[in-house]
Structure 1
Amino acid sequence: MNKDAAPLPTQALKRGRDLVVDLAGSALWGFFGAAYLSLALRGGDYLDVGLFLFYLLAACFMVIRRPAQRKVAWWENVLAWLCVFIPIAGLRPAAGGWEISGLVFQSLGLLGLVAALSSLKHSFGIAPADRGLVTTGLYRYVRHPIYASELVFNAGYLISNPSWRNLGVLLLMVATQVARILREEKIISGYALYADQVRWRCLPGIW
């Protein structure tokens, strides 16, 4: 018997705990998706339809994702979830914006979100974890296309709804995303070679 192997009850407990987390995350994304579907059915715009599709994919991928080979500390999980809820809880409508320009940014960001999530599939997660390195799709061009697309989408919201509050929320989101990115790059196996092949993290020519 391998002395280093975890006892069966411990392994079963871990699998059960991971399943609960995956189902809870899937239910959360499903809730967001249902909210945007409701908006779309009540006469919303195509962004509501696109967000419904994004959250539907997220809900599905959450329950079929690979088990994490490496995870991070609890506070890093909190940081990752903050990245999710900061724009949801913080951004507010404001007058005097440039709606067409903002809509263009949000449309591009939404397309990027759906495309990047479709590439990520079984490696999808919120908190940094090693679920396998993805190098296909948008990941051939930048190393963090989902985070980049989120920033573009929310920058579009700021353009359409300019206010000091929304600017502060966006800057806070950038700060937490940068911390999340730097931590994630340290725990995924094979990342150093991938970083040599794909130079830019989010914005080609900038970072």
Structure 2
Amino acid sequence: MAEIGVARRNGEQAVRVALDLTERFLLIIVALPFVLRFTHALDRDPYLLGLILAEMLTVVLLLIRRPGPIAGTPWAFFVALVGTFAPLFVTAPDGPPVIPAGAALMWVGLAISVAAKLSLARSFGMIAANRGVKSRGIYAFIRHPMYLGYAVTHLGFLLVFPNLFNLAVYLTTWTFQLLRIREEERWLCQDEAYREYADRVRYRLIYGVY
């Protein structure tokens, strides 16, 4: 029986390691074309620099993050990947911004998401994992501020570059981001410290609403 238990634990550890490596590899190969594509558009749209820097920060934090128990279900893995990768397929057509104020909204959203990522630091990851409960700074107001920052950024980008393709990309993104939040909450609420934090900070995404 002891040998079976050890074999099971070793198998679970192997799965977590495989998911961890797959997560990092997939982010790099998907984010790189996004960064290169938008770098070429900087001469025309310099405010896209914020998007590029935010994605580079995501890659760096993912590479240096510390290990932690990952929600190793296929569904949690799937919704995390789609929610992360889908917005990287938006396009920036030629021409001036349709609604210039959208550029300012993009920077507001980027500031929120970057502040959340820096608060997480080496606890950041795509797949739901418990690397310690963060409850200070922006996390004292809502439980998933990084996703709020993404939503504001996406709205700003859509105002600047409105087309049906970008709208479809973001509708897909946010369908899966909401599923992703639900999966993260399900995993994290196994931790008593997170349940206490959730009791103090009631709202997940938008203060006073959700």
TM-score range, shorter chain: 0.7 to 0.9
1:20 is aligned with what amino acid?
L
| Alpha-carbon shift at residue 99 of structure 1 (Å) | 2.6
Identical-residue share of aligned pairs (%)? 29
Aligned position for 1:194 = 197
TM-score scaled by length of structure 1 = 0.79
| Alpha-carbon shift at residue 84 of structure 1 (Å) | 2.0
Distance 2:27 2:94 in 1: 31
Residue among 191, 204, 208 paired with 1:205: 208
CA contact (8 A) 1:95 1:161 kept: no
| Partner deviation per Cα, 1:58-107 (whole Å, 9 max, x = no partner) | 22221222222241311321221111222222556488964322112111
TM-score scaled by length of structure 2 = 0.78
Distance 1:29 1:143 in 2: 27
Q: Which runs of 5+ in 2 are unaligned?
A: none
Q: Which runs of 5+ in 1 are unaligned?
A: none
1:113 is aligned with what amino acid?
S
CA contact (8 A) 1:64 1:122 kept: yes
After TM superposition, list the pairs within 5 Å mapping 1:40-189 onto structure 2.
44-48=45-49, 50-91=50-91, 93=93, 98-188=98-188, 189=191
Distance 1:26 1:86 in 2: 11
| Partner deviation per Cα, 1:15-68 (whole Å, 9 max, x = no partner) | 7636633652563477268527844875651431x2333233222221222222
Distance 1:98 1:46 in 2: 14
CA contact (8 A) 1:123 1:131 kept: yes
Q: Is the deviation greater in 156-165 or in 116-125?
A: 156-165
CA contact (8 A) 1:40 1:46 kept: no
How many residues align? The count is 206
